């Protein structure tokens, strides 16, 4: 047995935030962690291109069940760019198609960038994982094909110019945007807005799923320190749903919920909000003294055990089971 690796992957259930290095695909990072932890069930919450670095949340073990349930949260990026160059991939990894010597001042770039804030329709690039007629666009692009694509709605909450040199026409942007936004397409469109071209030369994701670089562990350190260190870096799965309301229930109610039974909305702190479809974090209260009363408390106090997600039914009366992450109620 390899030193530092536990005999079983039981300890590896949770969320691990990795600072992805350049040159790795998201699947490469997953493969490294599978080898390190011996946990086969590992998913991620959003692909980063090989040239990109930064926040990559991984879902290990039981946390992998959360992948299809994640709330849509904005992502933040710092992106380096070069004006005056167009490539087939919209970034510096691609073949140069056209170049332009058109100048652009810092003021012009800032003014153009203002027009990229808000709700926009964005055309996905050919070199992307978007499916069309059953095939990925990048597969078609590698065959030399360019097909008609439909623009998709995206939201850019914030777009700020962090640095810019007018002589070299190189700069850096900070973007806060919705899921599915292609930053390299923003840069290409920014170039077009300025009457020239634009390509992305670097990308660092600074926030995803509510996690930031402060939460992230460099992949190199995880590999160097080993499985024990990685286990200590795991975050609880309920951190993924921190924006959702929460209720803490007593032992009997928790057992009912874990067996597929519903919880009466009137007996929770959410009694006044009858919102069908509302998802809720459900915890088992650490206060065993209240277990006999069947009362329902208001939230996830320290020591409470996360059971899973509930969902308010169509009548607005019951919290039913949406997804269980724990089937055994702590005693």
Place of tokens 């329902």: 296
Q: Are residues 215 and 255 in the same domain?
A: no
Q: What is the mean pLDDT of residues 154-182?
A: 98
The pTM of the full predicted model, rounded to 2 decimals, is 0.88
pLDDT for position 18: 98
Q: Are residues 190 and 80 in the same domain?
A: yes
- If we measure between CA atoms, which residue out of 115, 243, 119, 130 comes closest to residue 177? 119
Q: 268 falls in which pLDDT band (50, 70, 90)? A: confident
CATH number at residue 318: 2.30.130.10
pLDDT for position 58: 97
Structure tokens belonging to residue 30: 């997953």
Q: Which of 6-15, 86-95, 286-295 has the lowest mean pLDDT?
A: 286-295
Q: 269 falls in which pLDDT band (50, 70, 90)? A: confident
CA angle 180-181-187, nearest 5°?
A: 155
Q: 328 falls in which pLDDT band (50, 70, 90)? A: low
- If we measure between CA atoms, which residue out of 56, 315, 86 comes closest to residue 199? 86
Q: Are residues 159 and 103 in the same domain?
A: yes
Task: Give tens-digit pLDDT for 45-72.
Answer: 888 999 999 999 999 999 999 998 998 8
Q: Are residues 52 and 150 in the same domain?
A: no
pLDDT of 293 over the 60 cut: no
Go through the chain and tell me how many residues it has: 331
> Of 43-57, 121-135, 170-184, which has the strongest mean pLDDT?
170-184
* Total domains present in the chain: 3
Q: Are residues 175 and 83 in the same domain?
A: yes
**Is 117 part of any domain?**
yes
Q: Which residue has the higher pLDDT, 296 or 326?
A: 326
pLDDT for position 193: 97
pLDDT exceeding 70 applies to what percent of the chain? Answer: 91
pLDDT of 297 over the 50 cut: no
Q: Are residues 116 and 187 in the same domain?
A: yes
Annotated active-site positions, please?
Answer: 49
CATH number at residue 81: 3.30.2350.10
Q: Are residues 157 and 253 in the same domain?
A: no
pLDDT of 291 over the 90 cut: no
pLDDT for position 329: 66
Range of 304's domain? 244-324
Q: Which residue has the higher pLDDT, 316 or 10?
A: 316
Q: What is the mean pLDDT of residues 211-221?
A: 97
DSSP string, 115-174: TT-EEEEEPPPSSS--EETTEEHHHHHHTT-------EEEEEEEEEEEEEETTTTEEEEE
């Amino acid at each position: 047995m390899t030193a530092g690796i536990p005999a079983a992957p039981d300890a590896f259930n949770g969320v691990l935030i990795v600072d992805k290095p350049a040159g790795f695909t998201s699947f490469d990072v997953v493969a490294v962690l599978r080898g390190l932890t011996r946990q086969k069930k590992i998913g991620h919450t959003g692909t980063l291109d090989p040239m990109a670095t930064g926040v990559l949340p991984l879902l290990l073990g039981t946390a992998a069940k959360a992948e299809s349930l994640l709330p849509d949260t904005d992502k933040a990026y710092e992106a380096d760019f070069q004006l005056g160059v167009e490539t087939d991939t919209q970034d510096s990894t691609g073949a140069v198609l056209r170049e332009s010597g058109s100048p652009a001042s810092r003021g012009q770039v800032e003014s153009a960038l203002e027009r990229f804030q808000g709700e926009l329709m964005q055309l996905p690039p050919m070199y992307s994982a978007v499916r069309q007629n059953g095939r990925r666009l990048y597969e078609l692009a590698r065959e030399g094909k360019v097909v008609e694509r439909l623009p998709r709605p995206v939201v850019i909450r914030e777009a700020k110019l962090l640095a810019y040199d007018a002589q070299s026409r190189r700069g850096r942007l900070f973007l806060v945007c919705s899921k599915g936004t292609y930053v390299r397409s923003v840069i290409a469109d920014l170039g077009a807005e300025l009457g020239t071209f634009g390509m992305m030369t670097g990308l660092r994701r600074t926030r995803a799923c509510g996690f930031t670089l402060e939460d992230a562990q460099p992949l190199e350190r995880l590999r160097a320190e080993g499985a024990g260190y990685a286990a200590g870096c795991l975050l609880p799965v309920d951190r993924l749903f921190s924006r959702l309301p929460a209720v803490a229930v007593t032992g009997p109610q928790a057992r009912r919920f874990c067996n597929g039974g519903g919880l009466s909305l009137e007996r929770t702190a959410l009694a006044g909000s009858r919102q069908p479809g509302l998802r809720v974090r459900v915890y088992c209260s650490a206060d065993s003294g209240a277990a006999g009363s069947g009362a329902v408390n208001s939230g996830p106090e320290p020591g409470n055990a996360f059971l899973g997600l509930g969902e308010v039914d169509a009548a607005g009366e019951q919290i039913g089971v949406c997804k269980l992450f724990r089937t055994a109620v702590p005693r």
